[in-house]
Protein backbone atom coordinates (compact mmCIF):
# COMPACT_ATOMS: atom_id res chain seq x y z
CA UNK A 1 0.00 0.00 0.00
CA UNK A 2 2.87 2.39 0.70
CA UNK A 3 4.14 1.80 -2.84
CA UNK A 4 0.67 2.43 -4.29
CA UNK A 5 0.34 5.67 -2.33
CA UNK A 6 3.81 6.72 -3.42
CA UNK A 7 2.87 6.03 -7.05
CA UNK A 8 0.02 8.50 -6.59
CA UNK A 9 2.28 10.98 -4.80
CA UNK A 10 4.79 10.79 -7.64
CA UNK A 11 1.98 11.40 -10.14
CA UNK A 12 0.77 14.56 -8.43
CA UNK A 13 4.23 15.80 -7.48
CA UNK A 14 4.34 15.60 -3.69
CA UNK A 15 7.05 14.02 -1.48
CA UNK A 16 7.12 10.23 -1.20
CA UNK A 17 6.42 8.56 2.14
CA UNK A 18 8.69 6.07 3.89
CA UNK A 19 5.87 4.67 6.06
CA UNK A 20 2.33 5.47 7.10
CA UNK A 21 3.13 7.15 10.43
CA UNK A 22 2.47 10.85 10.78
CA UNK A 23 1.44 13.20 8.01
CA UNK A 24 -2.01 12.87 6.56
CA UNK A 25 -3.25 9.74 8.33
CA UNK A 26 -3.43 8.52 11.93
CA UNK A 27 -2.04 5.13 12.95
CA UNK A 28 -5.57 3.73 13.00
CA UNK A 29 -6.27 5.03 9.51
CA UNK A 30 -2.96 3.71 8.26
CA UNK A 31 -3.78 0.27 9.65
CA UNK A 32 -7.10 0.43 7.87
CA UNK A 33 -5.40 1.19 4.58
CA UNK A 34 -3.38 -2.00 4.83
CA UNK A 35 -6.35 -4.19 5.73
CA UNK A 36 -8.10 -6.28 3.11
CA UNK A 37 -11.24 -4.42 2.10
CA UNK A 38 -14.34 -6.40 1.07
CA UNK A 39 -15.08 -6.73 -2.61
CA UNK A 40 -18.05 -4.96 -4.10
CA UNK A 41 -20.10 -8.14 -4.21
CA UNK A 42 -21.15 -7.25 -7.75
CA UNK A 43 -20.77 -9.55 -10.75
CA UNK A 44 -17.87 -9.29 -13.16
CA UNK A 45 -18.89 -8.75 -16.76
CA UNK A 46 -18.08 -11.58 -19.17
CA UNK A 47 -14.64 -11.22 -20.67
CA UNK A 48 -13.27 -8.97 -17.92
CA UNK A 49 -11.08 -9.30 -14.86
CA UNK A 50 -12.75 -6.47 -13.00
CA UNK A 51 -10.88 -4.96 -10.10
CA UNK A 52 -7.42 -6.10 -11.14
CA UNK A 53 -6.25 -2.74 -12.47
CA UNK A 54 -5.33 -0.25 -9.76
CA UNK A 55 -5.46 2.98 -11.81
CA UNK A 56 -8.35 4.35 -9.76
CA UNK A 57 -9.51 7.98 -9.75
CA UNK A 58 -6.79 9.97 -7.96
CA UNK A 59 -9.33 12.09 -6.05
CA UNK A 60 -11.12 8.96 -4.78
CA UNK A 61 -7.77 7.45 -3.83
CA UNK A 62 -6.79 10.57 -1.89
CA UNK A 63 -10.22 10.83 -0.25
CA UNK A 64 -10.51 7.20 0.85
CA UNK A 65 -6.86 6.46 1.62
CA UNK A 66 -5.90 4.14 -1.21
CA UNK A 67 -6.94 2.36 -4.40
CA UNK A 68 -8.07 -0.74 -2.47
CA UNK A 69 -10.79 1.06 -0.56
CA UNK A 70 -14.32 -0.26 -1.12
CA UNK A 71 -15.09 2.94 -3.03
CA UNK A 72 -12.07 2.50 -5.28
CA UNK A 73 -12.93 -1.14 -5.94
CA UNK A 74 -16.51 -0.24 -6.78
CA UNK A 75 -15.54 2.54 -9.21
CA UNK A 76 -13.15 0.14 -10.95
CA UNK A 77 -16.04 -2.31 -11.25
CA UNK A 78 -18.23 0.39 -12.84
CA UNK A 79 -15.43 1.24 -15.24
CA UNK A 80 -14.54 -2.33 -16.21
CA UNK A 81 -17.88 -4.14 -16.05
CA UNK A 82 -20.13 -1.36 -17.36
CA UNK A 83 -18.40 1.43 -19.28
CA UNK A 84 -15.56 -0.56 -20.83
CA UNK A 85 -18.00 -3.12 -22.22
CA UNK A 86 -19.70 -0.71 -24.64
CA UNK A 87 -18.44 1.48 -27.46
CA UNK A 88 -20.19 4.52 -26.00
CA UNK A 89 -18.67 3.85 -22.59
CA UNK A 90 -15.14 3.57 -23.97
CA UNK A 91 -15.54 6.86 -25.85
CA UNK A 92 -16.92 8.52 -22.73
CA UNK A 93 -14.05 7.29 -20.56
CA UNK A 94 -11.50 8.52 -23.08
CA UNK A 95 -13.07 12.00 -23.09
CA UNK A 96 -13.30 12.14 -19.29
CA UNK A 97 -9.72 10.92 -18.91
CA UNK A 98 -8.39 13.71 -21.12
CA UNK A 99 -10.09 16.39 -19.02
CA UNK A 100 -9.94 14.80 -15.57
CA UNK A 101 -6.17 14.46 -15.43
CA UNK A 102 -5.82 18.20 -15.98
CA UNK A 103 -7.51 19.02 -12.66
CA UNK A 104 -7.70 15.75 -10.68
CA UNK A 105 -4.04 15.48 -9.61
CA UNK A 106 -3.81 19.11 -8.32
CA UNK A 107 -6.94 18.53 -6.21
CA UNK A 108 -5.55 15.26 -4.85
CA UNK A 109 -2.28 17.02 -4.07
CA UNK A 110 -4.07 19.58 -1.91
CA UNK A 111 -6.09 16.83 -0.22
CA UNK A 112 -2.91 15.03 0.84
CA UNK A 113 -1.73 18.27 2.46
CA UNK A 114 -5.01 19.09 4.23
CA UNK A 115 -6.99 16.56 6.27
CA UNK A 116 -10.02 18.87 6.48
CA UNK A 117 -10.15 19.22 2.69
CA UNK A 118 -9.76 15.46 2.24
CA UNK A 119 -12.62 14.75 4.65
CA UNK A 120 -14.82 17.40 3.00
CA UNK A 121 -14.27 16.00 -0.50
CA UNK A 122 -14.88 12.46 0.72
CA UNK A 123 -18.12 13.47 2.46
CA UNK A 124 -19.51 15.93 -0.10
CA UNK A 125 -18.33 14.42 -3.41
CA UNK A 126 -16.92 10.88 -3.31
CA UNK A 127 -19.41 9.18 -0.97
CA UNK A 128 -22.56 10.66 -2.61
CA UNK A 129 -21.26 9.76 -6.09
CA UNK A 130 -20.36 6.19 -5.14
CA UNK A 131 -23.62 5.68 -3.23
CA UNK A 132 -25.69 6.90 -6.19
CA UNK A 133 -23.76 4.66 -8.56
CA UNK A 134 -24.47 1.73 -6.26
CA UNK A 135 -28.20 2.50 -6.31
CA UNK A 136 -28.23 2.79 -10.10
CA UNK A 137 -26.16 -0.26 -11.00
CA UNK A 138 -27.86 -2.55 -8.44
CA UNK A 139 -31.42 -1.32 -9.03
CA UNK A 140 -33.91 -4.21 -9.00
CA UNK A 141 -36.85 -4.61 -11.32
CA UNK A 142 -39.40 -3.56 -8.74
CA UNK A 143 -43.20 -3.64 -8.70
CA UNK A 144 -44.49 -0.79 -6.57
CA UNK A 145 -48.21 -1.47 -6.94
CA UNK A 146 -48.57 -2.75 -3.39
CA UNK A 147 -45.96 -0.44 -1.87
CA UNK A 148 -47.43 1.88 0.80
CA UNK A 149 -47.23 5.66 0.68
CA UNK A 150 -45.06 7.68 1.04
CA UNK A 151 -42.43 5.02 0.23
CA UNK A 152 -44.09 4.32 -3.13
CA UNK A 153 -43.90 7.96 -4.23
CA UNK A 154 -40.31 8.21 -3.01
CA UNK A 155 -39.21 5.14 -4.97
CA UNK A 156 -41.14 6.24 -8.07
CA UNK A 157 -39.37 9.60 -8.00
CA UNK A 158 -36.00 7.89 -7.50
CA UNK A 159 -36.75 5.55 -10.39
CA UNK A 160 -37.63 8.48 -12.69
CA UNK A 161 -34.44 10.29 -11.73
CA UNK A 162 -32.37 7.19 -12.49
CA UNK A 163 -34.10 6.69 -15.85
CA UNK A 164 -33.48 10.34 -16.75
CA UNK A 165 -29.80 10.05 -15.84
CA UNK A 166 -29.36 6.78 -17.72
CA UNK A 167 -31.16 8.17 -20.79
CA UNK A 168 -28.00 10.17 -21.58
CA UNK A 169 -26.25 6.90 -22.43
CA UNK A 170 -26.22 6.17 -26.14
CA UNK A 171 -27.76 2.75 -26.76
CA UNK A 172 -26.15 0.63 -29.50
CA UNK A 173 -28.20 0.44 -32.69
CA UNK A 174 -25.99 -1.67 -34.95
CA UNK A 175 -23.35 -4.35 -34.48
CA UNK A 176 -21.73 -4.77 -37.90
CA UNK A 177 -18.28 -3.87 -36.58
CA UNK A 178 -18.52 -6.33 -33.67
CA UNK A 179 -18.26 -10.08 -33.39
CA UNK A 180 -21.40 -11.82 -32.06
CA UNK A 181 -19.63 -12.31 -28.72
CA UNK A 182 -18.71 -8.61 -28.47
CA UNK A 183 -22.25 -7.59 -29.43
CA UNK A 184 -23.70 -9.95 -26.81
CA UNK A 185 -21.50 -8.46 -24.08
CA UNK A 186 -22.51 -4.93 -25.09
CA UNK A 187 -26.19 -5.87 -25.13
CA UNK A 188 -25.82 -7.57 -21.74
CA UNK A 189 -24.71 -4.27 -20.20
CA UNK A 190 -27.67 -2.44 -21.72
CA UNK A 191 -30.20 -5.04 -20.60
CA UNK A 192 -28.78 -5.50 -17.09
CA UNK A 193 -27.82 -1.99 -16.05
CA UNK A 194 -29.36 0.65 -18.29
CA UNK A 195 -32.91 -0.37 -19.25
CA UNK A 196 -35.14 -0.92 -16.21
CA UNK A 197 -38.13 -3.18 -16.62
CA UNK A 198 -38.97 -6.00 -19.01
CA UNK A 199 -41.16 -3.74 -21.17
CA UNK A 200 -38.28 -1.30 -21.80
CA UNK A 201 -35.91 -4.15 -22.67
CA UNK A 202 -38.49 -5.82 -24.92
CA UNK A 203 -39.18 -2.56 -26.73
CA UNK A 204 -35.47 -1.94 -27.31
CA UNK A 205 -34.88 -5.44 -28.68
CA UNK A 206 -37.92 -5.10 -30.95
CA UNK A 207 -36.55 -1.83 -32.33
CA UNK A 208 -33.27 -3.59 -33.13
CA UNK A 209 -35.18 -6.44 -34.78
CA UNK A 210 -37.24 -4.02 -36.89
CA UNK A 211 -33.98 -2.30 -37.96
CA UNK A 212 -32.54 -5.73 -38.93
CA UNK A 213 -29.75 -5.39 -36.35
CA UNK A 214 -31.06 -8.53 -34.63
CA UNK A 215 -30.79 -11.44 -34.52
CA UNK A 216 -27.01 -11.33 -34.66
CA UNK A 217 -25.32 -12.80 -37.70
CA UNK A 218 -22.50 -15.30 -37.41
CA UNK A 219 -21.50 -18.93 -37.56
CA UNK A 220 -23.17 -21.51 -35.33
CA UNK A 221 -20.21 -21.52 -32.96
CA UNK A 222 -20.01 -17.72 -32.86
CA UNK A 223 -23.68 -17.40 -32.00
CA UNK A 224 -23.44 -20.18 -29.45
CA UNK A 225 -20.58 -18.35 -27.72
CA UNK A 226 -22.63 -15.15 -27.78
CA UNK A 227 -25.44 -17.08 -26.11
CA UNK A 228 -23.03 -18.26 -23.41
CA UNK A 229 -22.06 -14.64 -22.69
CA UNK A 230 -25.74 -13.74 -22.38
CA UNK A 231 -26.32 -16.65 -20.00
CA UNK A 232 -23.37 -15.52 -17.88
CA UNK A 233 -25.07 -12.13 -17.56
CA UNK A 234 -28.39 -13.70 -16.54
CA UNK A 235 -30.23 -12.55 -19.65
CA UNK A 236 -33.54 -14.48 -19.79
CA UNK A 237 -34.19 -16.96 -22.57
CA UNK A 238 -36.89 -14.96 -24.35
CA UNK A 239 -34.46 -12.06 -24.74
CA UNK A 240 -31.63 -14.37 -25.80
CA UNK A 241 -33.81 -15.80 -28.56
CA UNK A 242 -34.28 -12.32 -29.99
CA UNK A 243 -30.54 -11.67 -29.87
CA UNK A 244 -29.02 -14.92 -31.19
CA UNK A 245 -31.99 -16.90 -32.53
CA UNK A 246 -33.39 -20.26 -31.49
CA UNK A 247 -30.64 -22.46 -32.92
CA UNK A 248 -27.84 -20.91 -30.85
CA UNK A 249 -29.67 -21.77 -27.63
CA UNK A 250 -29.33 -25.48 -28.40
CA UNK A 251 -25.54 -25.43 -28.11
CA UNK A 252 -24.30 -26.14 -24.59
CA UNK A 253 -21.38 -24.52 -22.81
CA UNK A 254 -19.63 -27.91 -22.79
CA UNK A 255 -19.82 -28.10 -26.59
CA UNK A 256 -18.30 -24.63 -26.89
CA UNK A 257 -15.43 -25.56 -24.56
CA UNK A 258 -14.67 -28.66 -26.65
What's 51-99 look like in SS3? CCCCCCCHHHHHHHCCCCCHHHHHHHHHHHHHHHHCHHHHHHHHHHHHH
108-114, Cβ contacts within 8 angstroms, sequence gap of 24 or more: 108/8, 108/12, 108/58, 108/59, 108/61, 108/62, 109/12, 109/13, 109/14, 111/59, 111/62, 111/63, 112/9, 112/12, 112/14, 112/24, 112/62, 113/14, 113/24
pTM of the predicted model as reported, rounded to 2 decimal places: 0.75
For the chain, give the percent of residues with pLDDT over 90. 60
On the question of pLDDT at 233 being above 60, the answer is: yes
Would you state the pLDDT for residue 255? 56
Stretch 110-137: mean pLDDT: 94
Closest residue by Cα to residue 242 from 197, 187, 189? 187
Stretch 210-230: mean pLDDT: 94
Confidence band for 232, pLDDT divided at 50, 70 and 90: very high
pLDDT in tens, 141-172: 888 999 999 999 999 999 999 999 999 999 99
Between CA 190 and CA 202 the distance in angstroms is 12
Confidence band for 20, pLDDT divided at 50, 70 and 90: very low
Amino acid sequence: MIQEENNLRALIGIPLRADHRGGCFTDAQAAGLCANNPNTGLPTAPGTTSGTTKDTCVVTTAATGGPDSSEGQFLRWVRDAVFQQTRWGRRFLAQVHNHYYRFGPPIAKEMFKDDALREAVEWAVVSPLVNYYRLVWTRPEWNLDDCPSPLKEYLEALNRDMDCWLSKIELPREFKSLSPEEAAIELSVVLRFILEGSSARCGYLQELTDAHALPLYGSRDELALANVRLIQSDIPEDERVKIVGDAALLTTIEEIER
